[in-house]
A = this chain, B = another copy of it.
C-alpha cells in the first residue's frame, strides 16, 4: 500500500528561477501531494538549444528548492514538438506512479484544457484534415494547428492556443487521455506575462529567456533577485569551473563542420531534415559567421525558429530519422534517476513493485537505442568544454550515482 501522494511536473530548469519555485509551492497546495517529481530535459531542450548548464547542476537546483525526485526526460522526447514531448513526459510520470500532474499555463483553468481535449477527440479527423490543409498552404505546424482550432470555433472561447504553455498543457492533458493514465491534471496560472519576455524588471519573477539573456551579457549579478540563491551560486560556480554557460555559439563551429563535411544525401537522413532543407542548410552555412546569422538566413514563413533550431540540434547530434522512429515507437526502455531527497527515496522504495520499466541509477546499466542516443548527445553536449574537463565529465557520466540531497 502506497500512502504517499505524488505530483509530477515537466521541467527544463534552464535555469531554475523564482517562477519555478512558485509553481512547486502552488502545485503542493493544490494537490496536497507529499512528493514532487520532476521529469527534466537532459542536455538539449524543446526549443532546440543546449541547456546552459549540465543536467546534474540543474538537478541540484531542483532538489535544493522543493523537488524530491528528478528523472531524465531523454533527448528522444526533450527535443520534440509539443505532442511528442508531452507523450514522453507523461509516459515517464505515469510509470513512476504520480497521482497528479501540474503544469504552468497562461490560462490557469484546468476545465478549459479538459474540455478542449474531449472535444478534440470527437473532432480528431476533421482537425487533422484542417491541419494538413493549412500546412499545404505553406504555414508552419503551430500556425496550422492554431488555424485549425479557429476553424473549429474553439480557440477564442475556450483556450488561447497561441500561448506556448497552453499548447504544452493541452498536450499533457491529451497524453494522459490517450495513454489512459490514472493521473489528475492540475494547472497553475503563470505569474509572468510571457515566456519570451526579453528583460528582467524589479519583479521577483522573470522569464528563463530574460535570465539567459542577462547571463549571456555577462551580467549575472542582475539575476540575483529573480532566482533562488542556490541557482545563483551553482551558475556562478559552473561558469568559473568550465568557463562557459552553454549556448549555440559554443557549438556553431562543430555544427558548421558537420554540415560542410556531410554530403546532402547524408544530411537528408537526419531527423527533421525534410522537404529539401538539406540543400538550404548547406547553402546558408557557407556564408554565416555565427549561429544567429545562419538562422536568419535559413528562416522562411514555413518554418518556425524553434523548428529550425531543433533541426540544427539533430544535425549537430547526428540523430537520424530511423533512430528517432525506432526510439519513440515503444515506451521508454528505462528511466534514469538523476537525484532525490530522502522523501523522494522513500517514494521510490514504496512504489518499486508497481514499476514495469527499470529505474536505473547509472548510465552503465542502460541499453538499447534510447541509451545509445543519450550517450552520444551527452558527449556532443560536453564537446565545448576544455579537453581535460570534457574527458572527465564523459567518464563520470557512466558511473555517477544520483545526487542525494538530505
**Are A257 and B380 in contact (CB-based, < 8 A)?**
yes
**Are A261 and B387 in contact (CB-based, < 8 A)?**
no
Taking Cβ atoms with an 8 Å cutoff, the residues of A that contact B are: 253-254, 256-258, 260-263, 286-290, 316-318, 372, 376, 379-380, 383, 387-388, 391, 394-395
| Given A257-B257, A380-B260, A289:B388 Cβ within 8 A | yes
Give the shortest distance, in Å, between A367 (CB) and chain B (any CB): 14
Q: How many copies does the complex hold?
A: 2
Give the shortest distance, in Å, between A289 (CB) and chain B (any CB): 4
| Given A286-B394, A387-B290, A317:B379 Cβ within 8 A | no
The interface residues of chain B lying within 8 Å CB-to-CB of A256 are 383
The interface residues of chain B lying within 8 Å CB-to-CB of A316 are 261
**Are B254 and A376 in contact (CB-based, < 8 A)?**
no
Q: Which residue of B lies closest to A372 (CB)?
A: B263
**Are A383 and B263 in contact (CB-based, < 8 A)?**
no
**Are A317 and B261 in contact (CB-based, < 8 A)?**
yes
Q: Which residue of B lies closest to A255 (CB)?
A: B257
The interface residues of chain B lying within 8 Å CB-to-CB of A257 are 254, 257-258, 380, 383
Give the shortest distance, in Å, between A325 (CB) and chain B (any CB): 15
Q: Which residue of the partner chain, among B253, B290, B380, B391, contacts A261 with CB atoms under 8 Å? A: B380
Q: Which residue of B lies closest to A251 (CB)?
A: B257
Q: For the complex, give the distance between the alpha carbons of A261 and B379 in Å.
A: 8
| Given A253-B383, A254-B254, A383-B256, A395:B261 Cβ within 8 A | no
